[in-house]
Structures are given as C-alpha cells and as structure tokens.
Amino acid sequence: MDYDKLLNISVELGCRLMSSGAEIYRVEESVRRLLQAYGLDSPEVFAIPNCVIVSITTPAGHPITRMRRIGGHGTDIELLERCNALCRRLCAQPPPVEEAQRQLSALLDRAPQYAPWQVLLGYGIAPAFFSPLFGGGAADSLCAFIGGLAVGLCLLYGGRFLGSNSFFRTAACSTVASLASLTLVRLGLGHSADTVTISVLMVLVPGVALTNAMREIMAGDIISGLSRAADSILTAAAIAIGSAAGLGIVGML
C-alpha cells in the first residue's frame, strides 16, 4: 500500500471537514477512523481551526507526518454532511487508495453551484424572516429584505474594494446594513429602525462559530476553542463598530 497517498487523502479529508465548519473532535476522529480502517494502529491527529497535522507509523516502522495549513473559511453544512458520508463509506468498506482519492476529489465536483441572484435572494429572505421574531410587522420585514440585499451585494461584489480581511469586511457590511435600515425607516417604509437593523445584522452574526467554540472549550480542546472564540468576538466587535458608524453617518445627515 502507498502510505504516502493514504496520508495525503486523510489530511485532505480533514482539511475539507475543517473548511466546512466541522468541530475539532469531528475532524480528528474522522481522520483517525479512516487511517485505522486501512490497518494503521494508533495514528496521531492534531487539529486546530487553521491547521491539521497527521502522523502515522507504517508496518515497517517508518514514521510519516503531514501538516496542512487552512486559510480563512466559513460554514458549509452541505459539504460537511457529504464529507461525513464519504468518511463513513470509506471506513465501512475501504476501497483501493486510488479509488478513495477519486471519490474525495469528486466531492467538490458535485457541489451545487448557486447563481448570484439566488445567493442575494437568500440574504434578503433571512432578515425578512428574522423581523417578525423581533416584533416587526410586514413593513419592517420588507425593509429587512432590502437591507439584506444590500449586505449581500456588499459581500458578493465588494471583495475587490474591501480586501480579504474578515474584520474590515464585516465592519463595512455592518455599516451598509445600518445605513440601509435607518434610511429605509426614515423614508417611511418601515416602523422600527431597531427591529430592521437587528434583523439585517443577524446574517453577519457568527452563531455556529461561537457555539463550536464553547463546545470545544468544554470538551477540553482549549486552543481551538479559544481561537474560535477570539474570532467570534472580533466579528461581533466589527458588527458593533460598523453599526455605530452607520448610525453616526445617518445622524450627521
């Protein structure tokens, strides 16, 4: 067996799980079970949100280690579910390493591609449904829908101006959300500026990341938990700064 290829497959699977927003325990356990399914005893797996390290010892006693750094990523529940399903299939009936590599490479090929208008529609619908939860009426939901579209446009097409820094991108989107919400309410389209603004900002709140951070801290994965918690806190700070900037601009006008 080509243990170098097997190690590369396991590390790639771990990276894709991490990139889709999986918890640390899920990444480590999936990689470990995959390697054990191919007959390797006691593989060592260490993962944090931006790095996966896997080490194995071949039956001949030769140690091999791989490390992969992971860039900025968000949450993709569909990709996470497909990675989990693939890992279970490979562990239940391990195919040849080349076939496992082919199945892993096919994960992204089968990923659904959404048109920009579909993504924008999602950004608009989510705040519109949050508005009634915060006590808003039909007019507030309409304003939240328009504000969500503005945030979606900023995220989809503002990358060349905002750069890749997630903090500044979130702050800019929060400013746009605040400006759009307050302006629409002042024009008479909505009734509650607070309700509309909060509804629109909900699409930027890192709920999954914060939940995973708390779970990992309680499970003993302190490094990854603190890393995710710090990222969530910075995102929340960016939302607050952007909202305050939008409120200040509207107030001056």
Domain map (residue ranges) of the chain: 3-109, 116-252
48 phi/psi in degrees, rounded to 5? -130, 170
Does residue 145 have a pLDDT over 90? Answer: yes
The per-residue pLDDT for range 62-116, each reduced to its tens digit, is 888 999 888 777 777 888 888 899 999 999 988 898 988 898 888 776 666 778 8
C-alpha–C-alpha distance, residues 134 and 185, integer Å: 16
Closest CA to 181 of 134, 218, 228, 226: 134
Residue 163: pLDDT band with limits 50, 70, 90:
low
86 membership: H or E segment, kind and range? helix 77-92
Handedness of CA 39, 43, 46, 51 (dihedral sign): negative
What pLDDT, on the 0 to 100 scale, is given for residue 110?
63
- pLDDT, one tens digit per residue, over 30-70 is 999 999 998 888 889 998 888 899 998 888 888 889 998 88
- Two structure tokens written together for 3: 């243990």
Mean pLDDT of all residues in 193-201: 89
Mean pLDDT for the stretch of residues 14-35: 89
Question: Virtual CA dihedral for 133, 138, 143, 146, nearest 10 degrees?
Answer: 90
What pLDDT score was predicted for residue 249?
Answer: 84
Which structure tokens are listed for 74? 């968000």
Give Cα 143 distance to the centre of its chain. Answer: 26
When the pLDDT of each residue in the chain is averaged and rounded to a whole number, the result is 86
What percentage of the chain has pLDDT greater than the value 70?
A: 96
Is pTM beyond 0.85? Reply is: no
Tell me how far apart the alpha carbons of residues 200 and 145 are, in angstroms, rounded to a whole number.
8
